[in-house]
A and B are shown apart, each in its own frame.
Chain A
Amino acid sequence: MIRLKNSCRTRHKKVRSFGLLLVLGALLGSCAGQRQPGIGGDGQPIRAFKDTDQGTFSVRWASIPHPIPINEPFELVLEVLGPDVNPLLEADGWMPGHGHGMVRTPRVTPLEDGSMGERRFLVKGMLFHMEGAWELRIAIAWRHEQGDTFSIQRENVVFEVEI
């Protein structure tokens, strides 16, 4: 397996001049900025990638709008670095202090790969209906083949968000 963690891959894909992607690029900041947490020119924090629990993938995110509003729908852009598998993503919110999650099931749309070869996803239907400490829980599942059998692998990464 190729491990691609916190490294800027050199593979450049042709990115169509697709308005959304430009916005996303701006939202997530440049690759060079990723190790230094701070605020980018667009007001979004420049985020670091975080590894999934087994270390197979690295994930980072940005919200639209930023910061995440209380009790209003928002969208997420997720970027995933990792081996060349076909990952399925699930995004969910959880309030560890309250023992409940979101009142919605968000939907994920794959976007075109980014310039570092990172996979990009748009998550619609997020809603944090209460203020307080939330966990943004991302699960990545994929099909792992061995000979003519396969299993479904699943790894998680959790980001803490205070709204």
Chain B
Amino acid sequence: MRLAASLAILTAAGGLASFGLWPNSPGPEWQALRAQFSDQQWARIIRTAELPTPNDSTNGVFHDEAAFVLGRALFYETRLSGNGEVSCASCHDPALDWSDGKALAEGLEEIDRHTPSLWNSALNRWQFWDGRADSLWSQALQPIEHPKEMGGSREEVAKLVLNDPELRALYTDAFGSAPEQMDEPNNVERVFVQVGKALAAFEGRILTPVTPFDQFVSGLQTGDPEDLAALDPLAVEGAGLFFGEARCHLCHHGPLLSDMEFHDIELPRAGAPEPARHGGVAKLLTDPFNGRGQHSDDVEAGRERLAYLNRAPHQRGEWKTPGLRNVARTAPYMHNGAYASLDEVLAHYSTLSDAPARSHSDTQRVLEPGHFSDSELQALKAFLQALSSPPPHPSLLPVNPKS
């Protein structure tokens, strides 16, 4: 009998039981919340707990302190660019949550993509909106040479790193030695790749500290009333919608609140859909710096990453699902900066009234208008705001900020 009763309780706790988590003596706050969510919502919410530790075996220095220090110097280094004025931080500004606050990015010229925040980018499965890079280190090489972003070149970057006494010392710390000769193409390419790997070691630490929502999820697991109070009732209602009826969780799930894959959410556009993921897969497979190429430190793992990629026409118009941690502070939104505020994003999901006409061949039916009421819109927004973390750790800021 007693066993049956405790089994019944465990079943009622749904997802909880399978996580082996059960508050010692759940108080009334906990019980009220437990009653507010279905088993499924509960399990989905628990699944967002705890960011995993990033790893990348194709980058041998990913966890190295010396590579991190070099990477930090390079991240804020404007001399990597063609005109000496643009650094990674020009667009990924730590004071703006590693983004730029603009609808479309502006380097040497404006480009037609919105700058994503770098929070937790080390946990992405694919980098860029179209996923055309499979690691942070290979990603980092592209903006440096992009004529509209930094307009630099691998030759100039290698020359800078090997000739500047400070950078050369940091490089030697990180990689043991630095080539004397930089006129050989092999050396140039090697130094360029190491620059990418050091930048990745730096970016690997740009992980969101604990948010009110994380505190709340921890409260759900321990029953701690203080943790449970980290979300106000409106945000709790928003969480219920997000992980329930509003079906946001279908694509925004797990610790990043992203499935890390690609979807067409029917943003307004003029003309035919862009190649998006369809083009991204092709570029990824031919990228000389991908994980199975000669510069990878774990070709086997790199091969496995790329082995099962498929390419299909429906991928046109499909962009990567962004993670949502700190989303309230990273307006504007979407790959093309289409929306200036969370209100505009939520209005889109509510009505899809600005969506392009669905074509005959569209078979995907994931996205349906949510028809949210005003109070539901407020609740969803309150939930998204509860995903905001404290600012970046001081160790991630430039060491000698230039005036």
Contact = CB atoms under 8 A, between A and B. Distances in A.
Contact of B364 (A99, A106, A129): A99
A104 B253 CA distance: 19
B400 interface: no
A125 B366 contact: no
Contacts of B262: 103
A132 interface: yes
Contacts of B253: 70-71, 130-131
Contacts of A100: 314, 363-364, 366
Dominant SS among interface residues on chain B: loop
A124 interface: yes
* Tier of interface size on chain B: 20 to 34
B270 interface: no
B25 interface: no
B364 A105 contact: no
A122 to B, nearest CB: 14
Nearest to A72: B254
Nearest to A71: B259
Interface of B: 44, 47, 249-251, 253-254, 259-262, 307-310, 314, 363-366
A98 interface: yes
Interface in A13-41: none
23 contacts: A70-B253, A70-B254, A71-B253, A71-B259, A71-B260, A98-B250, A99-B363, A99-B365, A99-B366, A100-B314, A100-B366, A102-B310, A104-B308, A104-B309, A104-B310, A107-B308, A124-B307, A124-B308, A127-B308, A130-B250, A130-B251, A130-B253, A131-B253
Contacts of A102: 310
A147 interface: no
Nearest to B250: A130
Interface residues of A, number: 19
Contacts of A132: 250
Contacts of A99: 363-366
A19 B366 CA distance: 41
Most chain B CB within a 10 A radius of its CB, from A70, A103, A104: A103
Nearest to B314: A100
Nearest to B308: A125
Contacts of B261: 103, 129
Contact of A98 (B307, B309, B366): B366
Interface in A104-130: 104-107, 124-125, 127, 129-130
Contacts of A104: 308-310
B319 to A, nearest CB: 13
B96 to A, nearest CB: 29
Contacts of B310: 102-105
Contacts of A127: 308
Interface in A84-108: 97-100, 102-107
Nearest to B318: A103
